Amino acid sequence: MANSAWSEKVVRLLRRMNNFYLPGSCRDQCFRFEINGAQVGWIPPHVASVLTRFPEVFAPPHGGAVSLRGGLDSHSSRSEAVDSLLQTLRLEEESPSCLKGWRDEKYNVMPTFSDPSLMWMERAATSLFGVKRYGVHINGYTVGESGEVNMWLARRSPTKQTFPGVLDNLAAGGLAAGAGIKHTLVKECLEEARIPATIAEKARPVTTVSYTYEDEDGVFAESQFVFDLELPLEFQPIVGDGEVQDFYLFPIEKVKELLATDDFKPNSAMVVLDFLIRHSFIEPDSEPRYQEFVAGLHQTL
């Protein structure tokens, strides 16, 4: 049977990463963020009150929703008006803490991934509006001659803005406006682990991992496109762009143990958990929380 203490830690991780759905979250108090009548996010009450200072950009909350002014009727006008507002806020002494991590990265804003982008928004600000963010995560692993599976993990740089110094997937990155999924995968593999495109392009798209959580910086609605990449036994990732300080090759049982610790980036632990389920390292006959695991990995609004 499964280790019940390990299973409970994993369930707590999944609940934390989906706490926006739990009783007592801010969801009931949030305003829908709408563009042209379509919901593109969730705006917490404290953010909505700040937006009332910018009546030229946002109309007053109405019917449980916050919308842009009607005159902002194009992709560029919406993007530029909101960006100007955010640039003003980030310079204020009492600015939202998330804006201190300004990245100069543009993220698309749309109702669903397949919809046309309605505007772009600075990545650091997306949690203020509960805008869905997309990324790419790569499970890098090896299969030995006798079938044993090992997984490559990265340890994040201690200078990273978020989750410094903890374990992570081999490579991962956010999906910037205008960037394709496979293009982002190849770019992140090369930049973070010096994996050449000839190898990275063999990665297989296998699933998405989706979750929504809230914290003091707002609402984080995220969906990660997950890829599995079987690497040659002789391959050794190399620290690339400074976002990683080291790489480790661990037996899969060690990886399973680590993902339930505080030494793992939470959403990356979810990606690894999904790998363990899909590759039958976690099975329903021996893991009583199996269905909770699966449900927690695929929560969508």
Which positions of the chain have pLDDT values less than 50?
1
From-to residues of CATH 3.30.750.160 in the chain: 27-129
β-strands 204-215, 218-230 pairing: antiparallel
From-to residues of CATH 3.90.79.10 in the chain: 4-21+133-297
- How far is residue 213's CA from residue 26's CA, in Å, rounded to a whole number? 10
pLDDT of residue 93: 84
pLDDT of residue 1: 47
pTM over 0.75: yes
pLDDT of residue 161: 81
Residue-wise pLDDT for 54-109, tens only, equals: 999 999 999 999 999 989 999 999 999 999 999 999 999 888 889 988 989 999 99
pLDDT of residue 301: 64
Architecture of domain 27-129: 2-Layer Sandwich (3.30)
pLDDT of residue 57: 97
User: Going by CATH, does the domain composed of 4-21+133-297 fall within 3.90.79.10?
Assistant: yes
